[in-house]
Structure 1
Amino acid sequence: MSAIRNTAVCAMICLSWLTPFSQGDLPADEPQANQQEPAKTAPQKPLFTLSKKTTYVTGPLRKDGTVDYVAALDAIASRGVTVENNAAILLYQIIGPGEILPELRNEYFKRLGIAPLPIQGNYFVTLDQLVQRAVVGKNVSEDEFAKLDPQVRRKVFAAQEKVWEQFDQAQGKLWTAREFPLLAEWLLVNQQPLKLLQQASQRSRYYSPSISTEKEFPMVSVLLPGVSRYRDLARALSIRITMNISQGKIDEAIADSVTCHRLGRVVGQGWSL
């Protein structure tokens, strides 16, 4: 009798578990009787067919037979470039060779088709360099700067922060040399490099050699010397525009605007930017 009662209790418990579940609550892997299979769609045809006719690289190859992609991109970038039409040559005459690694300079300028530029010259002076010269009395290298008295370094950093705040203001409004004398001095010091910049912007091509510094990761180890200096050149033009407008020199301001625009267009020909 007790066995029958236990069986009945188990049956009631099982029914209580199953009652809350409707047919829609059944597990997905148990197909319902009235469930329809989704309509099959035809596979989409690719936009183009991959084949040796459309996707292949023949070289140049490295010694191990793999493709030298840096050399391939460099060859494409230099195609049709000459000493006469390459803006990079004039740009390096403006900023100097300082950002090119010493061990790469000979090869770098060989590919440009010119003799290596001297380290010292009438090159573009950055705003930070001008401030450093004003505080320290001369321009120093990074290693020399690190050895300066900490108090002197703090003065340099404070002066640079102040002049960059002035720069931000000068970019957004008309200003005069009396208001921001150090910015006016910066433009005066760089008068000749900025004049050459106008000529560089009028050239039709831009080719800066691509040389990798690591064999294991050749693409990511290609350095981009000069790019940060190009930004400084554009910054100098931007505040000279607002200063010239304040002095009524509209033609000069327009000329600088055109130079800045052309500079961006020609430098943008580089494969990495």
Structure 2
Amino acid sequence: MKWKSILGSLGARVLGLVLLVAAGAKIAEPGAFAEQIRLEQLDFLFSVRTVTLIALALEVGLGTVLILGLRRLWVLFPTTLLVSFFLFLTGRNYWLVLNGLRDEDAACGCFGSLIQRTPGEAFWQDLFLLLVPLSLAYIGRQVSHRGFPWRRLLAAGFLVLGVTVYVGGNSDLHFVEMAAEIADESGEERFVKTDDYLLVLEGVDVPEAEIFHSQSVTFLVLSPQLPAAVVLKLRTTSVETIAGEMIFRGDDGSIILSSDAVFHPEGEFEVDGEGISFAVQGARLRLRNSP
């Protein structure tokens, strides 16, 4: 019946739109998405950078062909797997938060930080936005098809290629990848010194400053020119300071923060091609790549 075909086509296009909007939110903040991948421990087989690019390619590619009306089984089956995996992750996060095993702000659902939602809202809203149109997309499919949809696949391919190139060159993603490489093999959260960056204070290099990086994608900056230790959190782009006595240095040179440490907000930082710019008590600072 014609109404079934219309209903199914509408479901596919709505689902495609949802996937593209969700992908757009992740593309806008690829570093936060990569950190989420690390939080869910999805980088067990490939690097966090590779997993990020694969996930975005799937989401953009499938979303594009769906919104273009392509409903063949070799499109709907992988879409079903992708939707099921998304719902599994949001459902697991909801369960972990309910049981006090994860912080409520640790995950944002399939829309990233585009929409501020509680874990419960993220799960139930994603369930409705993804499962309902996916179910409708199977209704009224044509059994026989004329020709192969080259044009729609090429359109999706070009879009996926553009997203891959753009996100692959994003500096935020580089920071997350670096954090994964220097993470402590023991799995204990700690800050490890890195020589990849140099602190610049009011336009002047501060070579004696020490820069550390943690597994949770956080920078720690120590310098005698600063009134306190500075913490830069990539996921929230926040700048915070903590008292020096809350810092403990291990025999291997790594640093652990006291569980009693109080973080004092100093605003947000910005990431550009030259590094990370931020301010602490009116002083302008930057972390730039070491020569």
Q: TM-score range by the shorter chain?
A: under 0.3
Structure with more contact order per residue of length (Cα contacts < 8 Å, sep ≥ 6): 1
Compute the TM-score of the two structures, normalised by the length of structure 2: 0.23
Compute the TM-score of the two structures, normalised by the length of structure 1: 0.24
| Structure having the larger proportion of residues in helix | 1
